[in-house]
Structure 1
Amino acid sequence: MESSKVIHALYNDDEVLLDAVKAVKEEHHHIEEVFCPFPVHGLDKAMGIAPTRLAITAFMYGITGLSIAIWMTNYMMIQDWPQDIGGKPSFSWIENMPAFVPILFELTVFFAAHLMVITFYMRSRIWPFKEAENPDPRTTDDHFLMEIPVKESAVEELTTLLTKTGAVEINVVDKH
């Protein structure tokens, strides 16, 4: 939908916002974004956003960390510099695996956590020194903002709908 204007509807309660999102979607309007000071349970479903696949990447990053930990413990403790520590022979990795469990666990968590943070920042396009994109600073404190692109002919209709849904403030702004 090509539109030149955007409506910013501000709400001061998350339940009112959730009901408003459902009402706007029922009227077949496209909601571009909702800015919230904290996560609102059920908002993604109400907006029709597809489930995230970040859990799959976390699993893959964990498997990568586990694989590197297995390779590292095998190379360092069995192949490169085998030592008899505490009477444990270093003939094979599998015999010494119980001693390596903390290392395996820690590297699995390390890789999953650090790579997930990097993936989240890249997916969210959050770079160092990036300017904030929220249209109203109150969305970081106590207000919720729904951003809806609208054609010039439908501004009045959508403004009326948003007023009925409990919006405390409605602003029509030019698209930047």
Structure 2
Amino acid sequence: MSSKVIQAMYNDDDILMSAVKETRAAHHHIEEVYTPFPVHGLDKAMGLAPTRIAIVAFMYGLCGLSFAIWMMNYMMIQDWPQNIGGKPSFSFFYNMPAFVPIMFELTVFFAAHLMVITFYMRSRLWPFKEAENPDPRTTDDMFVMEIGVDGNEEELTSFLKSTGAVEIKITEKH
């Protein structure tokens, strides 16, 4: 890939969607699309692979459930068994109904917190990281589509103007 990109700016999400579809149909590689709000169906229009986030969340939930079972068994059965409410203190199975809320809460706790950490690491959002926003207007009312330039600047510029771009800039990729 080259170090230059063309940034085509659009002022409507419907125009952006049709431009993304036309750009993909013309076999141009879209580097990134910046939007001020989530645009439904943009990931499919860009041809992005489906996410595996649900599988990861399930695995994190299983870790939380396993930790809850181990923790309650250790604390309430092995380390410090107590007779609370007439329940037998020698079996995890007999005490299971009382442990269900704790197991549920730790499952949700682990899944939620580990998913946030995974999101930050996957998105490379480290503390004190500078913003990678190409234009401040993309946080307000503009949509930007970045396309890599391979020596076809004039052709690509005219193509993007025909898709409804209101502004086109050629910049260095960062």
Q: Tell me the TM-score normalized by structure 1.
A: 0.95
| Residue 168 (str. 1) matches residue 166 (str. 2) | yes
Distance 1:129 1:26, change over 3 A: same
- 1:1-176 counterparts in 2 under 5 A? 2-152=1-151, 154-176=152-174
Structure 2 residues without counterparts, runs of 5 or longer = none
Runs of 5+ unmatched residues, structure 1? none
| Number of residue-to-residue matches in the alignment | 174
Conserved? CA contact 1:4–1:151, under 8 Å: no
Q: Determine the C-alpha separation between the residues in 1 that align with 2:116 and 2:3.
A: 35
2:171 counterpart SS class: strand
Partner Cα distance (1:175, 1:97) in 2: 57
* CA pair 164-64 structure 1, distance change in 2 beyond 3 A: same
Cα distance in structure 2, aligned partners of 1:35 and 1:126:
16
Shift of 1:5: 2.4
Following superposition, the deviation at residue 121 of structure 1 comes to: 0.4
Deviation at 1:4, TM superposition (A): 4.2
**Amino acid in structure 2 at the alignment position of 1:155:** E
Question: Per-residue CA shift, 1:32-68, capped at 9, x if unaligned?
Answer: 0001111111111111111111211111100000000
Q: Identity across aligned pairs (percent)?
A: 76
Alpha carbon RMSD of aligned pairs, Å?
Answer: 1.1
Letter in 2 for 1:88: K
Report the Cα distance in structure 1 between the residues aligned to 2:5 and 2:15, rounded to whole angstroms.
21
Output the amino acid matched with 1:102.
P
Which contiguous aligned blocks of 4+ residues in structure 1 show a shift greater than 2 angstroms? 2-5
